[in-house]
Amino acid sequence: MFVKETSYIHKVKYYIKENSFIAKLAAKKLRASSVAIVIGKTIHLHNSSKEQFINNSRWLNHELVHIKQFQQHGYLPFIIKYLLESIRKGYTNNKYEVEARAGENNTGIC
């Protein structure tokens, strides 16, 4: 289900898509039961409701950092940089994931 309303947390505009096929593919690749993946300004969820996601401040902050990364680098350039970084260093050591994990507890990051 695509949530049509626009949400603003920390002055970041974003959309949420529940039961996303994109997130389902990511969950399979990551071997995770629940996944959120950001594409531009949309947070795609798999096996999590919008309410569960928003109530998990660490998870929300993590994904908001990715939205800011898209804004800072541009849509296509960020996707390319993110993928190259993942190929070179792996998912865990990807500098964009490291930055997002560092922002999980910082409510003022965005």
Residue 65, exposed/middle/buried by CB under 10 A (0-12, 13-18, 19+)? buried
pLDDT of residue 3: 47
pLDDT of residue 106: 81
State pTM to two decimals: 0.87
Listed residue (87, 80, 46, 76) closest to 63, CA to CA: 46
Cα gap 1→19, rounded to integer Å = 6
- Span 40-90, pLDDT tens digits: 999 999 999 999 999 999 999 999 999 999 999 999 999 999 999 999 999
Please report how many Cα atoms fall inside a 13 Å half-sphere around the Cα of residue 68, on the Cβ side: 19
Report residue 12's pLDDT band, with 50, 70 and 90 as the boundaries.
confident
- Span 87-100, pLDDT tens digits: 999 999 999 999 99
Provide the residue ranges of all domains of the chain, joining segments of one domain with +.
2-47+55-102
